Chain A
Amino acid sequence: MKIALCQIRALIKLSLLELYRRKDIVVVLILGAVLLLPLSFVTPFGMSGAGIYFNEIALVMVWLFSILIALGVSSRIFPHEFEKRTIYALLAKPASRSVVLIGRYLGALTAAISALCIFYAAYTLLCGCKQGVWLSEVLLQAFILHVGLIAIIVALGIMGSLIMTSSANVTLTLLIVFGMLFFGGRLPALAATQSLFAKTILYTANVVAPHVEFFDMRQRLVHEWSAVSWLVCAAVMAYAVLYSAAVLLLADFFLRRKRF
């Protein structure tokens, strides 16, 4: 057990080093700054005080960049290992396939969360400087739920990388994530009005697909609605943990069957 923990810790460290060596975060931060800084000086009709639009665009960028980073980190772990044949060295340590999977998952998750922390820090700094509001309960809840979302995306990215090519994996996962983000909340209502066949498909999608929209607190944060109950937050995080665990179990099944 102690050996397995040491191995997992080493794998987490490796993933973190890889993310910061590739300088992906620096690129997205510069891109974000280039897009947001001119927007922060907008004063329509010479009237200052508008901040909601800035908050919203900044949060959209945080969401987009965090999803891309999480998916990028998770989807290239195993293909890279297989390509460079470093998976043999890892399995020969000896580390079981499950330990490698969990270590790699936690590594990718830690790397993605560390990037998310940087994004939220930058967002808080920008919005704090512009509007004078620094920290709030809703912001904390938004961050926590965002971590739940990242946990699911990383799990999906890793599972996909074991059964598909990298490009197919990234495309399909992005389709699922954005599809569910925009339409996930409407699936039950949409299913209710369809024929039996379509209804079955939609209800299956409603159960199987990740409900990414649960983690989206942007509206509450941007339009200054009150915080949600912490019980609801806990329920959503429990969903994230269960969903990620289910996806990782599937990924473990695929990794065990994989022939190198």
Chain B
Amino acid sequence: MNNRPHIFVDEYAQLPLLLALVALLLATAVQSTLRLKAAARLSGWELPQRSADSILTMISDDTRQVVSQTMMAKVDEYFHGGVKAQDCTMCAAEESHHEGAEDEHHHAPAPQQAAGLNPVSWINSRIHAQEHRHLSDQRSVELLPWVVAASRASPHNIQAYEVGSYILNSMSEKSRIAVDFIKEGIKNNPKSPELEVTLGEICFNALEDQPQAAAAFERALTKSLARTKSLTEEELFLRLKIYFYLGRIAKESHEIAKLREIAQRAMELKAENVMTQSLAAWLKEEENRKRE
């Protein structure tokens, strides 16, 4: 008599069944990835997903991108004295002067307001600092290890190069090193107009090297115009910024025809923007100067 327990699926059928299941899971993964990418393309999301030839490369690139972004979150945390954005009790109120604040400063905490009467929140608000504080420029070197790690984790993390060059140029006053770092970013991300703009800004404002700045802004414009899809708000602002700097360089070298063309293009993009208005004002100024 056969004492083996009855099994619904024959043992020999288990392997193909398992293979079919794995294939189904893979197909679902590929389909959802493609759907996600299509949705991202349509809505203009900034997802960590990167296009690649194979799914393994894509997963590996995405993982590196996520790790890199986590490291960049660490940079933000360090800049705010180890306080995460979601834990900061004063951040909403501080938003208004966040941009201009460069020095180390902090404000009295409002733990009662944050914690209410809950003893857990009360103790947590005392143990974990929740005040708003910025790292001073002198200590900006503390941010650099994470910036370097983020750019090594994913060389396609544009934000890492932008933030890193800002820290080096504006906080540490090491503009030459910032230029080298941003050039490394451009080499790794040849299609990015953002990095070219950053390079141009450093050359124009910090190094006062107009020819190199002009070349960087020209390259940025070419890369920006190569983006065929409809412009997002950030991309529009970036292109206006490129026109603004190109116009400024044209004004300083008294190239009225070029300035007129740039101002015209900016007008077509967004006439009411302050940078477009600056371009129009410069054009008027230059025309008056020529007439005189």
The answer to whether the Cβ of B265 comes within 8 Å of any Cβ in the partner chain is no
Q: Which residues of chain A are near B146, meaning CB under 8 Å?
A: 53
Q: Which residues of chain A are near B245, meaning CB under 8 Å?
A: none
Q: Which residues of chain B are near A214, meaning CB under 8 Å?
A: 123-124, 127
The answer to whether the Cβ of B142 comes within 8 Å of any Cβ in the partner chain is yes
- Is the pair B126, A47 in contact by a Cβ cutoff of 8 Å? no
Given contacts A188-B121, A206-B120, A219-B82, contact A44 B145 (CB under 8 A): yes
Given contacts A47-B144, A219-B82, contact A228 B126 (CB under 8 A): yes
The answer to whether the Cβ of B281 comes within 8 Å of any Cβ in the partner chain is no
The answer to whether the Cβ of A104 comes within 8 Å of any Cβ in the partner chain is no
Interface string of A205-230 (1 = CB under 8 A from B): 01000010110110110110100110
- Is the pair B129, A223 in contact by a Cβ cutoff of 8 Å? yes
The answer to whether the Cβ of A140 comes within 8 Å of any Cβ in the partner chain is no
Q: Which single member of B121, B123, B128, B142 contacts A52 (CB below 8 Å)?
A: B142
Q: Which single member of B141, B148, B181 contacts A49 (CB below 8 Å)?
A: B141
List which A63-105 residues lie within 8 A (CB) of chain B.
Answer: none
Complex CA gap A243/B160 in Å reads: 44
The answer to whether the Cβ of A3 comes within 8 Å of any Cβ in the partner chain is no
The answer to whether the Cβ of A42 comes within 8 Å of any Cβ in the partner chain is yes
- Is the pair B142, A50 in contact by a Cβ cutoff of 8 Å? yes
Q: Which residues of chain B are near A185, meaning CB under 8 Å?
A: 120-121, 124, 128
The answer to whether the Cβ of B168 comes within 8 Å of any Cβ in the partner chain is yes
Q: How many residues on chain B are close to A (CB under 8 Å)?
A: 25
- Is the pair A223, B121 in contact by a Cβ cutoff of 8 Å? no
The answer to whether the Cβ of A236 comes within 8 Å of any Cβ in the partner chain is yes
- Is the pair B141, A44 in contact by a Cβ cutoff of 8 Å? yes
List which A228-254 residues lie within 8 A (CB) of chain B.
Answer: 228-229, 232, 235-236, 239
Complex CA gap A243/B147 in Å reads: 41
Given contacts A45-B181, A185-B124, A214-B123, contact A225 B145 (CB under 8 A): no
The answer to whether the Cβ of A32 comes within 8 Å of any Cβ in the partner chain is no
Given contacts A49-B141, A53-B146, A232-B127, contact A222 B82 (CB under 8 A): yes
The answer to whether the Cβ of A29 comes within 8 Å of any Cβ in the partner chain is no
Looking at the assembled complex, report how far the CB atom of A165 sits from the nearest CB atom of chain B, in whole angstroms.
27
Looking at the assembled complex, report how far the CB atom of A47 sits from the nearest CB atom of chain B, in whole angstroms.
5
Looking at the assembled complex, report how far the CB atom of A192 sits from the nearest CB atom of chain B, in whole angstroms.
9
Looking at the assembled complex, report how far the CB atom of B202 sits from the nearest CB atom of chain A, in whole angstroms.
15
Looking at the assembled complex, report how far the CB atom of B181 sits from the nearest CB atom of chain A, in whole angstroms.
7
Complex CA gap A216/B147 in Å reads: 26
The answer to whether the Cβ of B174 comes within 8 Å of any Cβ in the partner chain is yes
- Is the pair B123, A236 in contact by a Cβ cutoff of 8 Å? yes
Complex CA gap A217/B127 in Å reads: 7
List which A11-51 residues lie within 8 A (CB) of chain B.
Answer: 42, 44-51
The answer to whether the Cβ of B231 comes within 8 Å of any Cβ in the partner chain is no
Looking at the assembled complex, report how far the CB atom of B238 sits from the nearest CB atom of chain A, in whole angstroms.
26
List which B105-152 residues lie within 8 A (CB) of chain A.
Answer: 118, 120-121, 123-124, 126-129, 141-142, 144-148
Looking at the assembled complex, report how far the CB atom of A159 sits from the nearest CB atom of chain B, in whole angstroms.
22
- Is the pair A228, B127 in contact by a Cβ cutoff of 8 Å? yes
Q: Which residues of chain B are near A184, meaning CB under 8 Å?
A: 120
- Is the pair A51, B127 in contact by a Cβ cutoff of 8 Å? no
- Is the pair B128, A44 in contact by a Cβ cutoff of 8 Å? no
- Is the pair B141, A216 in contact by a Cβ cutoff of 8 Å? no
The answer to whether the Cβ of B212 comes within 8 Å of any Cβ in the partner chain is no
CB nearest to A48 among chain B residues: B141
Complex CA gap A217/B144 in Å reads: 24
A selection of 13 A-B contacts at a CB cut-off of 8 Å is A46-B177, A49-B141, A53-B145, A185-B120, A206-B120, A213-B124, A214-B124, A214-B127, A216-B127, A219-B83, A222-B82, A225-B81, A225-B82
* Contact surface of B with A, Cβ cutoff 8 Å: 78, 81-83, 118, 120-121, 123-124, 126-129, 141-142, 144-148, 168, 172, 174, 177, 181
Top-7 shortest CB links A-B: A223-B82, A44-B144, A219-B82, A53-B145, A185-B124, A225-B129, A44-B148
* Contact surface of A with B, Cβ cutoff 8 Å: 42, 44-53, 145, 184-185, 187-189, 206, 211, 213-214, 216-217, 219-220, 222-223, 225, 228-229, 232, 235-236, 239
A44-B147, A53-B145 given; 20 more Cβ-contact pairs under 8 Å = A42-B145, A44-B144, A45-B168, A45-B174, A46-B177, A47-B141, A47-B144, A48-B141, A49-B141, A49-B142, A50-B142, A187-B120, A188-B118, A214-B123, A214-B127, A217-B127, A219-B128, A219-B129, A220-B128, A223-B81
